[in-house]
Amino acid sequence: MNEALAYRDEPFAEKINGQTILMSPSPAVSHNRIAGNIYSIFRQFLKGKKHCVPFFDGVDVHLDDDNVFIPDVMIVCDRNKIKHNGIYGAPDLVVEILSPSTLTRDRGVKKAVYERAGVREYWIVDPLAQSVEVYHLREGKLELDHAYIVYPDWEWERMTEKEKEEARLSVKVSLYDNLEVDVREVFEAF
Distance CA 73, CA 116 (A): 19
In a 10 Å sphere around its CB, with 0-12 CB exposed, 13-18 middle and 19+ buried, how is residue 6 labelled? Answer: exposed
| Domain residue extents for the chain | 13-186
Q: Quick check: 89 pLDDT over 50?
A: yes
Q: What is the mean pLDDT of the segment spanning 17-42?
A: 82
Count H helices, E strands: the chain?
A: 6, 14
Q: Quick check: 41 pLDDT over 50?
A: yes
Coil, helix or strand at residue 131: strand
pLDDT at position 3, please? Answer: 45
The fold of 13-186 is tt1808, chain A (3.90.1570)
pLDDT at position 23, please? Answer: 65
Q: Quick check: 172 pLDDT over 50?
A: yes
DSSP summary character for residue 10? S
pLDDT-derived band of residue 20, with 50, 70 and 90 as boundaries? Answer: low
Q: Is the model more confident about 50 or about 2? A: 50
Q: Is the model more confident about 99 or about 7? A: 99
Distance CA 76, CA 144 (A): 21
pLDDT-derived band of residue 7, with 50, 70 and 90 as boundaries? Answer: very low
Buried b (16+ CB within 10 A) or exposed e, 89-117: bbbbbbbbbbbeebeebbeeebbebbbeb
